[in-house]
Amino acid sequence: MAVSWIEWRRLRGSNTLGFLACALLIAVAYYLELVLGMEPCPLCIIQRIAMAALGVVFLLAVLHGPRGAGRFVYAFLALLTAAGGGAVAVRHLWLQSLPPERVPACGPGLDFMMDAFPLQEVLVMVLQGSGDCAEVETLFGVTLPAWTLAAFVLIGLYGFWVNIKPRERLIWS
């Protein structure tokens, strides 16, 4: 099924909007860190990387401008990337819900782990979490991993929808 020129342009515009949403969320994360002094834990950093990867999926879709079956690739890449980031956010929320006696001990910083261990071991250690990850930081009364999870769900579903259904109403008319 071919996509008309106008629909193809709308698809590019919708993917641009997804990319800008990801870029805005990363900018907010850096604002919280650099201006408000909220230090990110290793799981927060992994969530930032996942959000950046989701932004890259949208950017590639904009640059490539797929037609036909190619748009399905971007739809599933957006969904898969958002699901991975969302899974890390769920793990983070679970660590924050633990009672204080069950919280894992604080480990070394991410910089030290990256220097001292292979990447596979670093990922395993980061995903296990540490005491740093159990600290609860809120924004408007909602924890940061909960905000991040909501963003991954909404942006991931948006990316799937705009790429899988180009003939439906898109953001850019």
pLDDT in tens, the chain (173 residues): 455 655 657 778 889 999 999 999 999 999 999 999 888 888 888 899 999 999 999 999 999 888 778 889 999 999 999 999 999 999 888 888 877 777 666 666 666 677 777 877 777 776 666 656 667 787 788 889 999 999 999 999 999 999 887 554 445 54
Q: The pTM is what?
A: 0.79
User: CATH for 5-164?
Assistant: 1.20.1550.10
Burial class (CB in 10 A: 0-12, 13-18, 19+), 76: middle
Burial class (CB in 10 A: 0-12, 13-18, 19+), 6: exposed
Q: How many angstroms separate the CA atoms of 8 and 13, rounded?
A: 9
Residue 23 near residue 155, CB atoms below 8 Å: no
